A and B are shown apart, each in its own frame.
Chain A
Amino acid sequence: MTADRLGIVVAGSLTGGVEVKLDCDVSVEERAVGRYVVIEGQKLRFLGMVTDVSLETIDDEITSMPPVSDEFIAQVISGTSTYGKLHVLPMLAIGGDAMGLLDGPKTVKTVPAHFSRVREATEQDIEVVFGKEDERHFYVGNPLDMETKVCLDLPLFVTRCNGVFGKSGTGKTFLTRLLLIGIIQKGAAVNLVFDMHNEYGWKGSFEGAGREVKALKQILGSRVAVFTLDEESSRRRKVSTDAVVEIGYDEVEPEDVELLRQTLNLTQPAVEAVYALAREFGARNWLKRCLEMDTGDEATKALLDRLHIHEQSVRNLRRGLDKLARLGFLTPKARESSVKRILDYLGRGINVVLEFGKYKGDSTANVLVANTLTRRIHDQYRRWTEQAQGEGAAPPQPLVITIEEAHLFLNHEVMDQTIFGTIAREMRKYNVTLLIVDQRPSGIDEEVMSQIGTRITYRLDNERDIDNVLTGVSNKGELKTVLAKLEPKQQSLIFGHAVPMPIVIRTRDYEKSYQEFAEAAEIKRKAENLAADLWG
Chain B
Amino acid sequence: MSTNPPPQPSSTRIAEVIEARSGEFTAECYQLHQAPPLGSLVKAGSPDVFGVVCDTVTESVDPGRRPLARGQDAADEADVYLQNPQLSKLLRTTFRALVVGHREGETLRHYLPPQPPHVHSFVYLCPPDEVRAFTQSLDFLSILMFSAERAPVDEVVAACLRQAAQAHPDRKLFLVGAGKTLAPLLRGELARLNTILTRIRP
A residues near B, CB below 8 A?
A: 24, 58-59, 61-62, 65, 67, 69-70, 72-73, 75-77, 79-81
Nearest-Cβ distance from residue A63 to partner chain B, whole angstroms:
10
Q: Do residues B183 and A76 form an inter-chain contact, with CB atoms below 8 A?
A: yes
Q: Does B150 count as interface, using CB distance less than 8 angstroms?
A: no
B residues near A, CB below 8 A?
A: 172, 175-176, 179-180, 182-184, 187-188, 190, 193-194, 197-198, 201-202
For the complex, give the distance between the alpha carbons of A75 and B179 in Å.
9
Q: Do residues A76 and B190 form an inter-chain contact, with CB atoms below 8 A?
A: no
Residue of A nearest to B197 (CB): A73
Q: Which listed residue, B172, B187, B194, touches A73 by the CB 8 Å rule? A: B194
Which residues from chain A contact B201 at a C-beta distance below 8 Å?
70, 72-73
Residue of B nearest to A77 (CB): B183
Q: Do residues B197 and A24 form an inter-chain contact, with CB atoms below 8 A?
A: no
Q: Do residues A76 and B176 form an inter-chain contact, with CB atoms below 8 A?
A: yes
Nearest-Cβ distance from residue A69 to partner chain B, whole angstroms:
7
For the complex, give the distance between the alpha carbons of A61 and B182 in Å.
16
Q: Do residues A81 and B176 form an inter-chain contact, with CB atoms below 8 A?
A: no
Q: Which listed residue, A24, A58, A75, A79, touches B187 by the CB 8 Å rule? A: A58
Most buried by B among A24, A62, A67, A80: A80
For the complex, give the distance between the alpha carbons of A222 and B157 in Å.
81
Q: Do residues A72 and B188 form an inter-chain contact, with CB atoms below 8 A?
A: no
Q: Do residues B183 and A81 form an inter-chain contact, with CB atoms below 8 A?
A: yes
Q: Do residues B180 and A72 form an inter-chain contact, with CB atoms below 8 A?
A: no
8 closest cross-chain pairs (CB), A and B = A76-B179, A80-B183, A61-B190, A80-B180, A81-B183, A73-B197, A72-B201, A67-B194
Q: Which listed residue, A65, A72, A79, touches B190 by the CB 8 Å rule? A: A65
Nearest-Cβ distance from residue B186 to partner chain A, whole angstroms:
9
For the complex, give the distance between the alpha carbons of A296 and B122 in Å.
128
Which residues from chain B contact A61 at a C-beta distance below 8 Å?
188, 190
For the complex, give the distance between the alpha carbons of A58 and B193 in Å.
13
Q: Do residues B193 and A67 form an inter-chain contact, with CB atoms below 8 A?
A: yes
Residue of A nearest to B177 (CB): A76
A80 and B184 in contact, given A61-B190, A72-B176, A75-B176 (Cβ under 8 angstroms): yes
Nearest-Cβ distance from residue A104 to partner chain B, whole angstroms:
41
For the complex, give the distance between the alpha carbons of A62 and B172 in Å.
23
For the complex, give the distance between the alpha carbons of A42 and B175 in Å.
35
Most buried by A among B176, B187, B190, B194: B190
**What are 8 A-B pairs at a CB distance below 8 A?**
A72-B175, A73-B197, A75-B176, A76-B176, A76-B179, A76-B180, A80-B180, A81-B187
Which residues from chain A contact B179 at a C-beta distance below 8 Å?
72-73, 75-77, 80
